[in-house]
Amino acid sequence: MIDGIIIELTEFDSSLWINHPKLDFSVLKNLSSGKEIGSRKAIYNSLEFIIEPKGKVKIKGSIHKFYNKGEHNGNRFSYDDFQKAVNQLSEFGVNPDKAVLRGFELGLNLDTSLCKIDTKIFLDSILYCRGAKRSDMEINGKAGYGYSYKRTNTTYKFYDKAEQACLQSEMLRIETKFTKMRSVESYQIHTLSDLLNKEKLVRLIKDKYLKFIDETIFFEWEQIKTTRKIPVKYKSKFKDLRNPDWWLKDERSRIDRQRNKELLEKLVSQYAKRNIKNILKDLISLELSNVSRTKNCYKHTEFQALNGWNNSKTHAQKSVTDTPRIVWCESTDQGEVKKEKKYCLVCGREIKGNKKSKYCTDQRKCRDKAYNLKVSEQRKAKRTQKQKQIAKLINEAGENLKLVKTNNPDRKRRLGIPSRKTSIIVTMNGMERLYNGDDARFFLREFEKRTQKEVLTECLDKRLEKA
């Protein structure tokens, strides 16, 4: 769980490092005077041992890599492993009570192959993270494999650990980096020994790691590509909610943001085949139980306060044994037996009875409303296309166009019933064409506009000639 650390040793004799057989220090020197420039540095198992000119002594790097003998930090690093790594530092004279923290990281490596979802899908689904603007991380010189969200005292990172550590399996890394220690002052965490205190560490994990996961907004675009299934009253709002720029640009109160977040998560849970945030939280819960577990007992852990974070589902473990199984996922693509709920495309209520139907059984209102809307859209599209043709005809015809307003010759006359339908006969190049109803009225309006425009142009030309 603990990875990168920056510690400053107090009351420490630097000669212990200079004379240490495993530390080979290097320093820049002035060629003419031979005077040392800058700090002395030695690297051992990926940890930097630094002796500054003013006498400060620091250790910087990944304690996870140090435990793995400098090879990588792509595997699981449990609390027991962290304790062993701190004990190994005693070889270099490090006393945890005298090692003042200047920065450190909390992070988990999540095996996404357990839920059969690519790491890239998790990365692309992040919409919003605590009001911070997203920055691309370059992993091994490549972009698109990770994102960071930088705040004043903390930086949050999501990236492809398999790409960084050159691993064969899928691996997602989620990390909280404390760049300034003022962010953890209220937790009474000042030295390396404070990170070995289980009560302080549990409280820190819950508030600074798990809480930020809860507040982060995820949306998988492929699960709800269009607003067709969304109820009419939420359609316009949903277009904003799935836009990452909308969450950053639009300033709102914390309560309002929480309300919008809950609405989006409600729509995702109802109309998407799977909820990627719930899947991610299951992965975190499973990995967290392994990281915090002691080797004395498999099932029970000394970090009991972390067990109820995600309200672990009963199917996250096998009933007979305590062996972890594949993380639960709300996806029918993963071969799970699950009754899929269907919702009305118009009102959004659950369809009961005939699951093949697209609409609810509310006296056929929703089905008729959907049909009328479809017919109306078709008529509108057809009318718009015809109006474009009429406007083009008027503009291109010029003086060759003549029209006569008349009654509809195709309409049968009835005694006592006046013929109110507008009709015109348009003559152009000896050819006659009949327009009725809305088309005729649109033709007359456009023709009148063109005639008025020509009259104004002629008057202007005459005034210019007189002038």
pLDDT of residue 431: 72
Q: Which CATH class is domain 386-466?
A: alpha beta
pLDDT of residue 390: 77
Q: Is the pLDDT of residue 365 over 80?
A: no
User: By the 8 A CB rule, do 37 and 27 touch?
Assistant: yes
Predicted structure pTM score: 0.65
The pLDDT tens digits of the residues spanning 402-414 come to: 666 665 555 555 5
CA distance 49 to 70: 14
Among 177-181, 305-309, 406-410, name the one with the lowest average pLDDT: 406-410
- The arithmetic mean of pLDDT across residues 393-408, rounded, is 65
List C-alpha distances in Å: 336 to 269, 276, 319, 340: 17, 16, 17, 11
pLDDT of residue 332: 36
**Higher pLDDT, residue 361 or 252:** 252
List C-alpha distances in Å: 350 to 172, 346, 362: 35, 11, 11
User: By the 8 A CB rule, do 150 and 171 touch?
Assistant: no
**Domain chopping of the chain, boundaries:** 2-224+272-316, 226-269, 386-466
Give the highest mean pLDDT range of 40-49, 132-141, 248-257, 342-351. 40-49
What is the pLDDT confidence band of residue 420, given thresholds at 50, 70 and 90? low
- The arithmetic mean of pLDDT across residues 39-58, rounded, is 92
Given the structure tokens 């009474």, which residue do they identify?
188
Question: Which residues are registered as beta bridge partners of 134?
Answer: 149
pLDDT of residue 341: 66
CA distance 135 to 140: 16
pLDDT of residue 297: 53
Conformation bin of residue 335: beta by default, left when phi > 0, alpha when psi is -120 to 50: left
Q: Is the pLDDT of residue 356 over 70?
A: no
Picking from 176, 184, 182, 179, the residue whose alpha carbon sits closest to that of residue 203 is 184
Q: Is the pLDDT of residue 311 over 70?
A: no
Give the highest mean pLDDT range of 26-30, 400-404, 431-435. 26-30
User: By the 8 A CB rule, do 57 and 17 touch?
Assistant: yes
| Cα 164 versus chain centre, distance | 21
Among 80-94, 351-365, 386-400, name the one with the lowest average pLDDT: 351-365
Give, to the nearest 10 degrees, the angle between helix 365-397 and helix 437-466.
30
Picking from 147, 151, 121, 152, the residue whose alpha carbon sits closest to that of residue 134 is 147
Rg (CA), the chain: 35
CA distance 411 to 405: 15
Given the structure tokens 């400098």, which residue do they identify?
70
The pLDDT tens digits of the residues spanning 217-273 come to: 999 988 888 888 888 888 888 988 988 888 887 667 888 888 999 999 999 998 998
CA distance 343 to 162: 39
